[in-house]
Each structure stands twice: as C-alpha cells, then as structure tokens.
Amino acid sequence: MNKNHRNLFVGLDTPVPLLNGSSRTYINLDNAASTPSMAAVKKAVDDFLPYYSSVHRGTGFKSQVSTYAYDQSRHSVLDFISANERNYTCIFGKNTTEAINLLAHRFPFSAARNVVLISGMEHHSNDLPWRGVARVVHAGTTPDGRLDEADFDTQLERYADRLALVAITGASNVTGLLNPVHRLAEKAHRVGAQIALDAAQLAPHRKIEMLDLDDPAHLDYVSISAHKMYAPFGTGALVARKDVFAKGEPIYRGGGEVELVTLDQVVWSQPPERDEAGSPNTVGAVALAAAILQLEQVGLAQVAAHEAELTAYALTRINRLAGITVYGDANPGSAAERLGVIPINVAGISHYLAAAILGYEFGIGVRNGCFCAHPYLLHLMGVQEEQSQLVRQQIISHDRRFVPGMLRISFGLYNTVEEIDALVEGLDCIVRGKYRGKYSQDMASGEFLPKGWHVRYEDFYQT
C-alpha cells in the first residue's frame, strides 16, 4: 500500500478532541460528501491570488493573467474527460447540482420528446431537476442496488419515440456501484435520445471519456464537482454539447453573457459565456484545474488501484464483525469493480448514534442518514410502504429520531489501512456496547450528542 499519497494533502495530521479529554489525529472517511484539499491546490491558489482580478475585457495586466488562468482551467476540464473543443464546451458553476439544473432548463425538450429516463439509484440532484421540466421515468434496481438493465431496456423501448434524455449516475454515492455508461449511451442514441452523466462521484476515482459525437457510445453531457475532487473552493462544471448550448436563452441573465444589448434587443454570447452570467469564481476554476493536474500526475489507474485495495481490506475486516449489515456489494473480491463507498448498519443501534460514537469517541468522520438518495436507500433497506408513510408523517411533524438510514464509509486517495483498523476497532466497540459516552437524541435533527460535552469551537477557528 502506497502511503506517499498522504503528502499530497493539507490537514491530514490535524488533531481533534475526544470525549475522554484526549485528542487524536482526525480520520476522514466521508470523502463521498467532500474531500480535503490537495497541497497542490492550496499552492496554486496562493500563487494565483496576487494576480487575482476581473476576467475578460480587462486591459490591466492582472486582468489579463486572471483571464488566462480562467480560460486555461476550462481547457483542463475538457482535457480531463477527453472532450474535444470542436463539439463540447465547459460551463463553470457552483457544483454538480447547479450544473444539472442548468442542463435541465436548457435542454431542448419538445412536445414529441419530453421523457427523461433515470435510474432508481440516483442522487436527488440527478432526479429532482428533471421532475420540474419533463416526465421522469425510473428504471429499477436489483435487490443489491445495481441498475436493473433489463428494466432499463424495457423502459427505453416503451418510451423510445418520446425519450429525450437518459440521465444516469456514473457511480452511486450510496453503494459505490458503477454503471456501464457507454453501453447505456449506445442504447440511448439508438432511439434518438441523448445521455447526461452525473460524474460527481465518478470523476475523482475513474477516467472519464466523452468520445467523439460520431461514436455511438459518446457522452453528450458530463457534470462534476470540485469539492469531491480535492479542490474545496466552490466550483463545478458542466461539459456540454456546443450545438445545444449555442441555441436558446440562458436561465441567469446579466453581465458577461451578451454581445449586444439595446433597449429592445439582446444578442447572446456563444457558449460557454452565454451561460456564465456575472463575475465567475476564477479562484475555484484555478483550484479545480490544479486538482485535475495532480490527479493526472498520480494517474487515475493508480487512484483506482489504491482505493480498491482499501475497499477489499475494509470489507474483509467488516465482514468478520457480528451484527454488521453491508449493503450493495459486500464481496472483497470485486472491490476493483466499484468505488470505495461502503454503506453499513449496526444491529440494534441507530445510525445516528453509531456515527456520533465514531466521531466523539474515536475521531472518525463518517456520514449517516439517507445521503440525498432516499428512494434508493429505502429500497436497499427493504423499507415497506406502510413504514415509509409513518416516517414521512414523523418528518413532517419535525421528528427525525426514527428515520431509516445507514452509516457510509467512503475512501479517498490518502486513506490508509491503519485508518481502516481504527474504524473496525470503533465498530467493534459499538457492536459490543463498549462505548463510554451517555448520549441524548435531538428530536428535530435525530442527532445524538454526548451528555456533558462542551467544546469551544472558537478555539479551533475564528472568522
């Protein structure tokens, strides 16, 4: 196992306080939510800030440097996913959620083609935006959480004449299971539809290839988030077909996206400027480009191999613990065929409480809950409709104590087997009821807090 990757990151040796009064180096196993910053990202931002200025149309030297940096960052994104600049454009925004919403409102639906086919494993960000603009059809998932491709084919044929778009995740943020995106692309194109890939989870871990438009397996749209790619400076990108975004009107209107404005006429700019109203997040774009460069220097194949080794080791150890349920693919032997995302539950222990114990007593950060993929998670857990209705009423009544959920363990490039050993030690203590704290649950949030816990967060950070 190559541990040298740890020196590529910022803040990995930061100590955090524990419930027993001691401190411990923080262990972050919540990378599927957000990743720490790469050192190269910090350096790139530090190097750029002295030149930070307005971009485009500025005549000052700093404006010209900023414009160069911003435009080069756009090229870096396109190169990263092998998108040729003849056919594709890179539109910067806040994150994947905004990118998909942008696509949803700019996609050329018609009265004849107004159906979007998605899967039952989607993050809400690749589901809810489509519900507001088209008819959404869900392809089913198997009991272990994989795309039911037979059902996908059935829905594809059922709506073939009306299907405008297939919107699919590259990798589940709940189970880490991968989708055969290029095979699905071929199927979508065969019936005259296009395909949009939510690559928020996929991009930091696997190589993405847009391919040329004349390739039946090409991808029409790809969205990514920098905060999941070791660049936490608030940006994301939509890589989209130029021929689509050269038409129509932007959803945000303002400066920076027009060629001409009169009292009765507007001439919009060509993509990508047409959909980037206002002053852009230049620092975020620089940060994303720096993260991309560092990932490419490590090599996405090396990233995948490292995380597969971690995943296989973690599953082997977790499977030996009594009282632990692993959802999705629990086979260590297939770790290379999925991402390092492992959802679990501890028998008899609320996911809220288990996550709190790991955090307060072991200094381990994990995610718990439904991971913004409620239908998928309830499917995996086998929650029946009657129970689901009861939970809905409780949530409406501001009582989240009994909301079904899981613990999610997710790996990044820097994680180690020693950190997994610490996680297993914590899980073993939870399983055996050997944790120390006394906890009380907040009804509105469902979260557990240790009784008597007091910490001055201002001692750790002040604005």
Question: What's the confidence (pLDDT) of residue 310?
Answer: 98
CA 218/CA 211 separation, integer angstroms: 5
Q: Please report how the helices 181-190 and 149-158 are oriented relative to each other, as an axis angle in degrees rounded to 10.
A: 20
pLDDT band at 463 (very low <50, low <70, confident <90, very high): confident
* Mean pLDDT value across residues 259-266: 94
> Which of 20-29, 147-156, 345-354, 389-398 bottoms out in mean pLDDT, i.e. has the lowest?
389-398
Among candidate residues 90, 370, 372, 429, the one labeled active-site is: 372
Task: Encode pLDDT of 382-438 as tens digits.
Answer: 998 888 899 889 999 999 999 999 999 999 999 999 999 999 999 999 999 999 999
Q: Residue 3's pLDDT is what?
A: 57
- Give the torsion sign (CA, 330, 96, 8, 426): negative
Q: How many Å apart are CA 83 and CA 91, to the nearest integer?
A: 13
| Residue in the structure block whose two tokens are 């998670």 | 377
| Residues 153 and 134 sit within 8 Å (Cβ to Cβ) | no
- DSSP β-bridge partners for residue 408: 343, 367
For residue 1, pLDDT beyond 70:
no
Q: Could you give the CA distance from residue 66 to residue 60 in angstroms, rounded to a whole number?
A: 10
Q: Give me the amino acid identity at 142.
A: T
> What pLDDT, on a 0 to 100 scale, did the predictor assign at position 58?
84
Separation between Cα atoms, residue 151 and residue 149, nearest integer Å? 5
Six-digit token pair at 228?
A: 């999941």
Task: Give CA angle at 260 (256, 263), nearest 5°.
Answer: 110
- pLDDT exceeds cutoff 80 at 303: yes
**Mean pLDDT calculated for residue range 87-91:** 98
- What confidence score (pLDDT) does residue 57 get? 81
pLDDT, average across residues 298-305? 97
Q: Using the predicted structure, report yes or no on whether residue 2 has a pLDDT greater than 60.
A: no
- Residue 443, pLDDT score: 96
Q: 356: pLDDT confidence band, cut at 50, 70 and 90?
A: very high
Q: Phi/psi of residue 247, each to 5°?
A: -115, 165
Q: Per residue, what are the HEC states of the chain?
A: CCCHHHHHECCCCCEEECCCCCEEECEECECCCCCCCEHHHHHHHHHHHHHCCCCCCCCCHHHHHHHHHHHHHHHHHHHHCCCCCCCEEEEEECCHHHHHHHHHHHCCCCCCCCEEEEECCCCHHHCHHHHCCCEEEEECECCCCCECHHHHHHHHHHCCCCEEEEEEECECCCCCEECCHHHHHHHHHHCCCEEEEECCCCCCCCCCCCCCCCCCCCCCEEEEEHHHCCCCCCCEEEEEEHHHHCCCCCCCCCCCCEEEEECCEEEECCCCHHHCCCCCCHHHHHHHHHHHHHHHHHCHHHHHHHHHHHHHHHHHHHHCCCCEEECCCCCHHHHHHECCEEEEEECCCCHHHHHHHHHHHHCEECEEECCCCHHHHHHHHCCCHHHHHHHHHHHHCCCCCCCCCEEEEECCCCCCHHHHHHHHHHHHHHHCCCCCCCEEECCCCCCEEECCCCCCHHHCCCC
Rounded-to-integer distance, Cα 447 and Cα 353, Å: 7
Separation between Cα atoms, residue 275 and residue 245, nearest integer Å = 8
Query: pLDDT at position 189, please?
Result: 98
Give the whole-angstrom CA distance, residue 59 versus residue 74. 21
What is the rounded CA–CA span in Å between residue 304 and residue 287?
A: 22
What is the C-alpha separation between 284 and 37, in angstroms, rounded?
12
Burial of 407 per CB tally in 10 Å (0-12, 13-18, 19+): buried
Mean pLDDT in the chain? 96
The rounded distance, in Å, linking the Cα atoms of 438 and 68 is 56
372 is catalytic: yes
Digit-coded pLDDT (tens) for 29-85: 999 999 999 999 999 999 999 999 999 988 999 999 999 999 999 999 999 999 999
Confidence (pTM): 0.96
Going along the chain from its start, the domains and CATH numbers come out as 4-30+299-459 (3.90.1150.10), 42-296 (3.40.640.10)
Percent of the chain with pLDDT over 90: 95
User: In this predicted structure, what is the pLDDT of residue 347?
Assistant: 96
User: Do the strands 135-139 and 163-169 form a parallel or antiparallel pair, or are they unpaired?
Assistant: unpaired
Give the position of tokens 């756009």: 74
